[in-house]
Structure 1
Amino acid sequence: MCLFTETRIKFRLFEGCAAESGTDGEVVLGVEAGTYQVFALPDHGSAYGAQWVGLTGGTGSQDLARNVVVAAGEQKDIHKIFMDRKGTVTGVVTGADGAPVTGGTVAAVTPVIGDAGRGRVAIDTQGRYTIDFLGPYAWPLSFQTSTHAFQWSGAAHRRQSATLVPVTAGQTTTFDQQLALGTLVKVTATGSPSGRYAVAYNNSNGDVAGFIWVQQAGGQAIFRVMGGQQVKLQFAGGEPGQGWYGGTDFDSAKTVSIPATGEKVVVYPYS
């Protein structure tokens, strides 16, 4: 079992395993001082399902997970984690035009910039997906394709607004998703170096709302973002503090309102 410590403004699983349980079930995670929630992800083929660790059992919602507060230099022991048997979710993903999409991913996590990450499955050429590693709780699911804006189940722009998909142990739930196209966002960071990701982050929780690789120095980034949300923009990949629109980090950057229709154009000097 892989365990990950996450915060409420950051939840992104990368390729590796932060800490893995041994034959005795013990896991040790190294963290800085702070408040965390713990996400448990089983190995492929496990009989058990993923969960956010709650006070008395698992949950599919980070908002309902137990807070683990760790002070500098402290060793914090949390209670035993009780794993539940897994269930399956399957369905068909269609585009805004009603036709099945022919690729992309479905996940219980947010996208990771430039990394396939864990906790996700592929959408096949018929638009079908199957997730078979979730615990028996209600989950928000994320949908990422190259043709539509990144979005959550129910065409929501953030996890906290998603339609929750119920999972039952040992059974299969069908959940079909029709994607919203999203709003076209065009961003230019004048003077930016080549080889950067242009990224939009949701202002309320820090989740990635959309991104695209920009090959050309000072080039325009064109990608789709779900309308109706506020985001912060960055040309990522340089030195820390660089590339933010109107600031030097997430907290100080300007917020940008994404309209429900039309497009949003932003031009700013790279620094």
Structure 2
Amino acid sequence: MTRLRAAGAALLAALATISLSATPAAADAVGYTGLVTDADGEPVANACLALHTSPDEVAAEYCSDAQGRYTIPGTADTTTTYKIRVHADGFRTEWWYSAPDYLNADRISLPAYDLVEQNVRLGQGSAGIKGRITDETGAPVEATVTIYGEDSNYEAIAYTWNLGDGRYQIDNVPPGRYRISVYDNSRGYQWVPGQETRDTATVFEVADGATLTVDEQVLPLGEIEARVTDSVTGKPVPRPCLYVMGGRDEFICGTNGLVRVTDVRPGSWTTEVTGGASYFPADPQPTVDVRRGAVTEVSYALRPGAAFTTTVRDAATSAPVDGICVHLVQPKWGGQSAHMWQYCSGADGRLEVGPFEADELATWNVYAYQADNPYNPPVRRYGDQWVTAAGGSGDQRAALAVTLQAARTITIPTIRMDQPGTITGTVRNAAGEVVPGVCSYPYAFHPGQGAIFGKNCSDASGRYTINDLGPYRWPVEFAPNANSGYAWQWSGNVADRFAATYTQVKSGGTATVNAKLVAGGVLAGKVTDPADPWATGYVWTYNARTGDIASASYGYFDSGSGGSFTVKGHRTQDVYVQYWVNKDCWYGSRQAQTVRVKVGATTTVAMNTDSTCGAPPTGVARAAAAPLGIRPDSRTGR
């Protein structure tokens, strides 16, 4: 017979067969069909298969005929899923497939196109296992309890949080012999009673009709005590941190060279050891063997790097400011990308930058800005600034010069953040027409890692907006796309930052800076490498006075182009030309020469790697296609 609840009424037409014959279903039928048998393979009549949508809700039920054959008709609705309970008088209730209850049963959808043969075997006799899981203090533990058949592949689980108070219970299990494990996320696996492996666990006998009580107390976890020192001086690392991968998946930090990590799972774990911005992480990453109930003592020596530290505060209240990030930018040659390596202040305002290797020892300017966090937007907005010795500025030339020192951490003056203002304006061409899609920047932009899009770029009406600028005098660089035909330029319609018009921004105010674009000049040429006729590379141009990137594009060359390249988008200016052929080369003699590029014209140069590689222009420390401070990805230093 068939019993349908309200939840299954929609299936009534498709599932209309009530009385099932002993003959197989028609060849064009779909759904599940098969035999219900006992442990000896004999058919079981009137065994019913109930389709559950929840532990207590039954959508439909189908029963076997006198020959033990059942059929569950299929449906085109494959989105609805069920768990199937099989029951018959004199037999143990089974859930599809061979599970004791709803929790352990497989969830299935009914076949829509095939008739699937699935036989069901019912067993006799029923037992149960229950108990309570506690910690070493006797408090209840939220854990997963699993029973494993000793003489079969039978497995079933129970969750202590379903019953509460650390209790678990599994009913309708076949009588027999079982081993039992307990697992929770922090402690890992253990075997009852108090064993680390299955082999040493007790085998419990569960009799028919009986419920066996098996309580368990979870084993204590391990602890790591790490001493972290400076590999050069031997002194304790002030703020060491330890991450135990898999043993305890979070950074635990300490002070004065000591870190204690409690509640570590037993096992052999790889560790990551750090000492803040002043030290390089331990390499290779050490492995630590942790035992339950024991303290494992380890020692690490970290190599110091170059770094600097400071505190970020509100300029008006002196309160520490969280989420202020910085870019490191060279005073000359290259500018900064819109997507640079980030270091950010913590809740206490502390900002650490580093560590840097010896070959990264340079003098830097620091550009500070407030990080965008859509999940936790800041209550108070702050404006961008070039960090100076006594406040902020919009002019990079006024920025504090931070010179890194090998294996040392220096302290720079406090960064004081002001309330922001805005610059907006309209971008037009020489004919007075608005130009959309031109991105604007309050600093010298390097396109090595992509541009910034959205509100900083001109819209269909030519309007752009730069928000969150500190209350200082700012220049604006307009950077049209390389294929637009327009030249890069600065506010005041000039070619370089030093000649730009600087506009005062006021907190809460809006200043206007418009732009009139001109047709860009082109630098064209050919690169030859006698040692490698198949050489490939790229060409950048830099303004000779400021060292900023001079145009929107870099010129790519390869053997297919015969070494030819073009670099578009210049206003009239003198530029240095840098080209890369697996080495750093500059146009001209070994001291490099400038090239005059003009608006609307094409200037041609030829470059040969024999005579011009390895020597940058005078005064250039480390110019590169991707200047130091621009990294392949971002990270936050705390």
TM-score by length of 1: 0.86
How many residues were matched structurally? 265
Paired letter, 2:412: I
Is the counterpart of residue 139 in structure 1 residue 482 in structure 2?
no
Is the counterpart of residue 253 in structure 1 residue 619 in structure 2?
no
Is the counterpart of residue 4 in structure 1 residue 332 in structure 2?
no
Is the counterpart of residue 48 in structure 1 residue 382 in structure 2?
yes
Is the counterpart of residue 268 in structure 1 residue 607 in structure 2?
yes
Bigger drift between 210-219 and 138-147 goes to: 210-219
CA positional deviation for 1:172: 1.3
Which structure carries more relative contact order (alpha carbon 8 Å, separation 6+)? 1
Paired letter, 1:130: T
Which residue pairs with 1:121 in the alignment?
Answer: 456
Is the counterpart of residue 230 in structure 1 residue 553 in structure 2?
no
CA positional deviation for 1:143: 0.4
Q: Deviations over 1:201-240 (max 9, x none)?
A: 112232110233436532331513111x22111334x423
Which residue pairs with 1:77 in the alignment?
Answer: 411
Is the counterpart of residue 156 in structure 1 residue 156 in structure 2?
no
Distance in 1 between residues matched to 2:540 and 2:522, nearest whole Å: 13
8 Å CA contact 2:363–2:404 kept in 1: the answer is yes
Distance in 2 between residues matched to 1:122 and 1:3, nearest whole Å: 22
Among candidates 158, 176, 194, match of residue 514 of structure 2: 176
Among candidates 521, 524, 548, match of residue 207 of structure 1: 548
CA positional deviation for 1:74: 2.5
Among candidates 338, 341, 347, match of residue 17 of structure 1: 341
CA positional deviation for 1:194: 7.6
Distance in 2 between residues matched to 1:5 and 1:222, nearest whole Å: 27
CA positional deviation for 1:108: 1.3
Q: Deviations over 1:143-182 (max 9, x none)?
A: 0113211111111211111001221111111221112334
- Where does 1:57-76 land on structure 2 (aligned, <5 Å)? 57-76=391-410
Paired letter, 1:245: Y
Distance in 2 between residues matched to 1:97 and 1:103, nearest whole Å: 17
Distance in 2 between residues matched to 1:118 and 1:198, nearest whole Å: 22
Distance in 1 between residues matched to 2:487 and 2:588, nearest whole Å: 24
Distance in 2 between residues matched to 1:127 and 1:260, nearest whole Å: 22
With over 3 angstroms needed to count, the CA separation of the structure-2 counterparts of 1:95 and 1:260, relative to structure 1, is closer
With over 3 angstroms needed to count, the CA separation of the structure-2 counterparts of 1:253 and 1:129, relative to structure 1, is same
SS state at 2:498 partner: helix
8 Å CA contact 1:142–1:151 kept in 2: the answer is yes
8 Å CA contact 1:91–1:128 kept in 2: the answer is yes
Paired letter, 1:101: V
CA positional deviation for 1:50: 0.3
Distance in 2 between residues matched to 1:9 and 1:160, nearest whole Å: 12
Paired letter, 1:220: F
Distance in 2 between residues matched to 1:230 and 1:19, nearest whole Å: 35
8 Å CA contact 1:39–1:51 kept in 2: the answer is yes
Distance in 2 between residues matched to 1:265 and 1:240, nearest whole Å: 22
Gaps of 5+ in 2: 1-323, 611-638
SS state at 2:341 partner: coil
Distance in 2 between residues matched to 1:153 and 1:235, nearest whole Å: 28
Which residue pairs with 2:584 in the alignment?
Answer: 241
SS state at 1:209 partner: coil
Distance in 2 between residues matched to 1:149 and 1:260, nearest whole Å: 8
CA positional deviation for 1:245: 1.9
With over 3 angstroms needed to count, the CA separation of the structure-2 counterparts of 1:21 and 1:240, relative to structure 1, is farther
With over 3 angstroms needed to count, the CA separation of the structure-2 counterparts of 1:118 and 1:132, relative to structure 1, is same
8 Å CA contact 2:578–2:584 kept in 1: the answer is no
8 Å CA contact 1:154–1:177 kept in 2: the answer is yes
CA positional deviation for 1:37: 1.9
Is the counterpart of residue 37 in structure 1 residue 365 in structure 2?
yes
CA positional deviation for 1:84: 0.3
Bigger drift between 130-139 and 179-188 goes to: 179-188
RMSD over equivalenced CA pairs, Å: 2.6
8 Å CA contact 1:182–1:225 kept in 2: the answer is yes
With over 3 angstroms needed to count, the CA separation of the structure-2 counterparts of 1:193 and 1:97, relative to structure 1, is farther
CA positional deviation for 1:75: 1.4
SS state at 1:234 partner: strand
Gaps of 5+ in 1: none
TM-score by length of 2: 0.39
With over 3 angstroms needed to count, the CA separation of the structure-2 counterparts of 1:270 and 1:101, relative to structure 1, is farther
Paired letter, 2:596: S
CA positional deviation for 1:138: 0.6
Distance in 2 between residues matched to 1:29 and 1:76, nearest whole Å: 10
Distance in 1 between residues matched to 2:540 and 2:434, nearest whole Å: 27
**Greater Cα radius of gyration, structure 1 or 2:** 2
Bigger drift between 60-69 and 24-33 goes to: 24-33
Which residue pairs with 2:16 in the alignment?
Answer: none
CA positional deviation for 1:14: 4.6
Q: Deviations over 1:61-102 (max 9, x none)?
A: 111112223332221111211100010111110112221112
Which residue pairs with 1:108 in the alignment?
Answer: 442
Distance in 1 between residues matched to 2:391 and 2:448, nearest whole Å: 33
Bigger drift between 127-136 and 20-29 goes to: 20-29
Paired letter, 1:122: C
Distance in 1 between residues matched to 2:436 and 2:539, nearest whole Å: 24
Distance in 2 between residues matched to 1:149 and 1:194, nearest whole Å: 29
8 Å CA contact 2:427–2:438 kept in 1: the answer is no
CA positional deviation for 1:190: 4.1
Bigger drift between 57-66 and 104-113 goes to: 104-113
Distance in 1 between residues matched to 2:589 and 2:338, nearest whole Å: 27
CA positional deviation for 1:38: 1.4
8 Å CA contact 2:523–2:567 kept in 1: the answer is yes
